[in-house]
Amino acid sequence: MSPSAVERPLHRSVCRPFGDGRRKSLSRRLADIFATRTGIWYDPQDLTTLFQDAQGTLPVYRPGTGLVDPPVGLMLDKSGGGYHASQSTTTARPTLSGRYNLLTATETLSTQSVTTVATNYTLSFDGTGTITLSGKATGTYSAGTHTIPCTAGTLTCTVAGSVTRADLRVKRDGSDLPAYQSVTDADNYDTAGFPLFLKRDKVDDDLICQVPTGGITGAWAHGTIDGPMFGTVAIPAGEYHPFGTKLNVGLPDCTQWIAIDGALSASEQAVFERYVYSKARQLIDVKQFGHVRAMVGWLRERADITSIDLTRTDLSNVTNLSDFLRGAENITELDLSGTNLQTAPGYLAPYASKLETVNITGLTFIRGQMIQSFVYCSNLTTIKLDPSIPNPSTDWQNTFWGTKLNQASIDAILVTINTAGTSNGRFNQSGGSAPSATGEAAITAMRSRGWTVTVTGGF
Amino acid sequence: MNWQHRTLIIPIALAEPARAACMALTGSASEGLFTTLLYPEGSTEATHAISSGYIAGEFADLLPCGDQPGNIEALQAMLEGVDFPITFDGLAGMLAMIDISEEDADEAMARLGLSLAPPQAPDEVAA
C-alpha cells in the first residue's frame, strides 16, 4: 500500500480547504497552530532538522543507506521558537533508525538467529520453502503471514528450501506499515514507507534544550513506533530534557515530540493528535501499544508531565507497569477505568506526590499483586472503583501507605478485596481516614480467612 | 564521519582522569563521558561508570577493543600534542583498566556483572 493511500483516510476528515479550494495538510495546520503560540516541535522524520553533531555542521543521512544508523547530536525545533535540542557528547547521542524487520538478507533468506523481546511477532514470507523456529518460539511455517508469540532471548530461524521476501517484526495491529521491509544487513535496508524514529540506548543517550522564560504549559505528545502518548506538560524555563532526566528509563523511542503552550481548542487538539498518529502511520481509531508487555519506568520522575491520557492506550498485554509513574510528582489524576491488564499494577506510581484521584473502576487483571502501587502518594484522597467487582490481589503491602484516602475510598477498597473471598493476604494503610463500619465489617471477614490487615484508626 | 560503536566501562576512580584525557583530544564531544554509574549485582554502591555509543573512527581505531590491541604510542603522542602530558605506562595502565568492546551496553554490563540501576531499595515504611 502506498504511503499516500494510508494517510488519505486520516487526513480527509480534518483537512480544511484554502480559499482557492486546495486543502491544507495536517503538517501545515499544525504549523498554523504554532504561528500564534510558543512551543517545541521535534520531528525525527524530517532529515532537514537533524544533524550528527551538536554544532549542526554534519547533516544526518538517511538510515539504511550503507552506513551505521546516524547519531543525532542536534535536533532543530520546527515550532519557530528556536528551542533546539542537542548533545555534545558523542556517545550520548541517540541514533536515527528506520529498521522494523529483524531479519537480514531478506530477499532470499538463509538460516539466522535474532534477538526477541517478550511479545507477539509477525512472520511473513514468500517462496516454496519453510522456516522452522527454535529457541524463544517453535514451529514450522510455510509461505504466508503468521503470528508468533515469543519470549525474550534468541530466536533461530532455520530455512529449508526457497524463502523469499521474509519479514519478522513486532506485531502492531494499529499501524499501516508496508508488509515487507527489505533488509540486506544492519546498515543497508529499505526505509520507504517506514517512519524514522530516534532510538535511545537507555544508558546515557539524551538531548537537551533551553526553554524560554515563562516556560511552556499545555498540550504534549510523544509519538513512538508503538503508539502515541498524549497529555499535558508544565515545562519550567531553563535546561530541559524532553525525554526525561532519568536516562535509563523513559519511552522507548520517538517518532515525534511536541509541546504547545496554552489551551488548544477541540479542533486544534484534533489536528495535533491526528498529525502525531499519521506521522507514525498509526490508525487513530485503533488503540495503540497493544502488543507492549512492559512499560517499566516510562514516565518515571517526569516532573514536567501534569496529566496523561491513557483512554486510547491498549494495555491488555501489559504484564509489568512497575514505576510507570514513579515520582511523577505533578500528575494529579490517573484514569485506568475499564482497563484490562495481564498483571495487577503493582509499583505503578510510588511517590507521585500530587496524585489526588485514581479511577480503577472496571480495572481487571488476571494475576499479580497491587503491592506498593501508590505508596507515599501523599495527596491521594480518592480511589474510584466499583466495590461489587472483586479484586483478586492478596498483597496490598504499602499500596496505600503514606496516603490520605477518604473514608469512602478505604471502605470501597476493603469491600472489593473482601468480595473476592481470598485468604491469607496482607493489607496495610497509613494516613487518611479510618474505615467506617462498612470497611470494618470487610476487615473482620478478611481476618477470619487469614488476612493481616492494618488500617488507620487501628481497628 | 566514520562512527564506530563502543561500550566503555571504567572504574569510578578513573572516570575523571579518563574524561580529562578524552576532552583534551575532542573537547566538548567528551564532556559527558563516564557520568552514568554502574552497580555490582546486589550492591547499592556504584563501582563503575559507563559510556556507550558512537565515537569517531579516528579515535576508535587507536583504542584497544577485544582482540584489537590499539595503538597506545599514537594516543600518547596525540595527547602530548594537545599539551596533556601522560607517560606511556600511565596511559597503558589506564586503558588496561577500561573494558572497551563493540558490544551493546546490556551485553557488556551482563558480562561484567554490573547494572545501571541499583537494586530496588525497599521503600522504608513500617510493616
CB pairs under 8 A between A and B: 90
**Element containing residue A210 per DSSP (H, E):** strand A209-211
* B77 interfaces chain A, CB cutoff of 8 Å: no
Mean pLDDT, chain A, integer: 93
Nearest CA in chain A to B33: A89
For residue A12, how many other CB atoms are within 10 A of its CB? 9
In chain B, what are the domain boundaries? 3-113
Contact (CB<8Å) B54/A71: yes
Q: What is the pLDDT of residue A3?
A: 37
The string of pLDDT tens digits covering residues A177-235 is 999 999 999 999 999 999 999 999 999 999 999 998 999 999 999 999 999 999 999 99
Chain B residues within 8 A of A373 when measuring between CB atoms: none
* B31 interfaces chain A, CB cutoff of 8 Å: yes
* A239 interfaces chain B, CB cutoff of 8 Å: no
Chain A residues within 8 A of B29 when measuring between CB atoms: 54, 88-90
* A1 interfaces chain B, CB cutoff of 8 Å: no
Contact (CB<8Å) B52/A95: no
Facing A398 at nearest CB: one of B6, B51, B125: B125
Angle, nearest 10°, between helix axes A266-279 and A26-34?
130
The string of pLDDT tens digits covering residues A84-117 is 999 999 999 999 999 999 999 999 999 999 999 9
Q: What is the DSSP string of A28-43?
A: HHHHHHHTTS-EEEE-
pTM assigned to the model: 0.92
Contact (CB<8Å) A91/B55: yes
Q: What is the pLDDT of residue A63?
A: 98
Between CA A301 and CA A330 the distance in angstroms is: 9
Beta pairing, strands A305-309 & A227-235: antiparallel
Minimal C-alpha gap between A264 and chain B (Å): 38
Share of chain A above pLDDT 90, in %: 91
Give yes or no for residue A6 having a pLDDT over 60. Answer: no
Q: What is the pLDDT of residue B120?
A: 60
The string of pLDDT tens digits covering residues A289-326 is 999 999 999 999 999 999 999 988 999 999 999 999 99
A11 falls in which pLDDT band (50, 70, 90)? Answer: very low
Q: How do the pLDDT tens digits run along chain B, 127 residues long?
A: 899 999 999 999 999 999 999 999 999 999 999 999 999 988 989 999 999 999 999 999 999 998 889 999 999 999 999 999 899 999 999 999 999 999 999 999 999 999 997 766 545 454 4
Facing B30 at nearest CB: one of A53, A89, A350: A89
Q: Does ipTM exceed 0.90? A: yes
A5 falls in which pLDDT band (50, 70, 90)? Answer: very low
Minimal C-alpha gap between A221 and chain B (Å): 27
The string of pLDDT tens digits covering residues A142-167 is 999 999 999 999 999 999 999 999 99
